[in-house]
Structure 1
Amino acid sequence: MNLATWPALLVVDVEGNGTNPPDLVEVAALPIRDGRPDKGSAGWWLTRPNRPITPFATRVHGWTNDAVADKPAWAEVAEKVRAFLGDTWICAHNAHTDYRVLGAHLPGWEPAGVLDTLRLARHTFPDLGKYSLDKLIEHMKPDLSEAPGVRHRATFDAFATAQLLTAMASRYDTWDQLVAAAVPPGLPGAPEPERDPTLW
């Protein structure tokens, strides 16, 4: 597949404060250009959540309440994030989560489509068994030497997801085949089910 012919696509990752529903703490959006992640034009936002970051969330991503105490509230950056995301395609690992959280924080926002590397990996490697980001990194060994930050930070995870996406996409001949394998039913961009021509 010629990845350079893809529509505009952002690989996104979000980190929350650990509450349910979560407040956003960190958002990364990494463009794919000519089949490669483009760090030079990536978007990144670190915000102070309305509710404190829980100890559990801190253990996962490392952000503490002290670290974000002087950061802007979500309301101060929301329109910048909305403008950056626009109506392009997005991709995330376990994309239902990122799509749902971003949608809750950006009312009215709707991407052109949503690729899910978790769904894509299950289709690409049906016998792998586990499909966490760590498991896929271990299995596919993408080049993460230029990944910003550390694992479980939004910038690192978006970069890793982008590398996994492009590597798996090379196994498909067309964009439509990739979409059929990677877009979860019910999310934007999902192929319409074929109608039975005998029914009318």
Structure 2
Amino acid sequence: MNFASWPSLLVVDVEGNGANPPDLVEVAALPVRDGQPDTSTAGAWLTKPEHPVTPFAARIHGLTNERLAREPGWTEIAGQVHTLLATSWICAHNAHVDYRVLSAHLPQWRPAGVLDTLRLAKVTYPDLPKYRLDALIEHLKPDLSAAPAQRHRATFDAYATAQLLVAMATHYDTWDQLVAVAVPPGLPGSPEPEQEPTLW
């Protein structure tokens, strides 16, 4: 895989308040350049949700209402997030979720495409018993020594997902081959279906 041929791409991860639909409490966006996560230009934001964080969500990511009380509201940081994401490709694990939540919070945002490392892993490693992020970390053992924060925080999960993406991408020769496998149907960047032949 020639990583220099990749378009602009950011690995994203979001954490929510546990409601449905969720309010965002954390967003991370980590560029991947030349096959490496570029933490020097990454973006990470904490935000106070409109509705309280549920006890269940707080237990998972550790972001309590008290911790977020002094953070800016979403409207204060939405422009910064939108500017960094711009029209780049994004990648996430189980990308439907992150794409849906980000799209709800950034209605004018239109990424060039969406890669899903969950979908990619199922094709790349068809015999694994599980495909959760923890299972892939255990299987591939990426170097996470430079990962910020800890598991279930957006910055850590984006860094881990970026390392998994790069490792799996080495199984494909070209960007187009990667896209054909990793973009879920119906999401931006999905290869157009072949036209059915007609009589005319």
In the superposition, the TM-score normalised over structure 2's length comes to 0.98
Distance 1:89 1:50 in 2: 28
Which residues of 2 match residues 1-200 of structure 1 at below 5 A? 1-200=1-200
* AA aligned opposite 1:67: R
Question: Could you tell me the percent identity over the aligned residues?
Answer: 73
Report Cα offsets for 1:125-164 as digits up to 9, x if no partner.
1111210000000001011011001000000000000000
Q: Distance in 2 between matches of 1:11 and 1:67?
A: 25
Report the count of equivalent residues.
Answer: 200
Letter in 2 for 1:97: V
What code does the residue aligned with 2:131 have? Y
Structure 1: which 5+ residue stretches go unaligned? none
Aligned residue identity for 1:2: N
Deviation at 1:43, TM superposition (A): 0.3
After superposition, what is the alpha-carbon deviation per residue over 1:1-54, rounded to whole angstroms, capped at 9, x for unaligned? 111210000000000000010000000000001110000100000000000100
Shift of 1:108: 1.8
> Following the alignment from structure 2 to structure 1, what is the Cα–Cα distance between the partners of residues 174 and 199?
30
Task: Provide the rounded CA distance (Å) in 2 between the counterparts of 1:101 and 1:182.
Answer: 19
1:198 positional shift: 4.9
**Where in structure 2 are there 5+ consecutive unaligned residues?**
none
Q: Which amino acid counterpart does residue 117 of structure 1 have in structure 2?
A: T
Q: Deviations over 1:88-134 (max 9, x none)?
A: 00000000000000000001211000000000000101111210000
Counterpart amino acid of residue 22 in structure 2: P
2:65 alignment partner, SS class: coil
CA deviations on 1:152-191 (whole Å, 9 max, x unpaired) are 0000000000000000000000111000110000000000
In the superposition, the TM-score normalised over structure 1's length comes to 0.98
CA-based RMSD:
0.8
Q: Quote how far apart the aligned CAs of 1:193 are.
A: 1.0
Segments ≥4 residues shifted beyond 4 Å: none
Partners of 1:22 and 1:94 lie apart in 2 by: 16
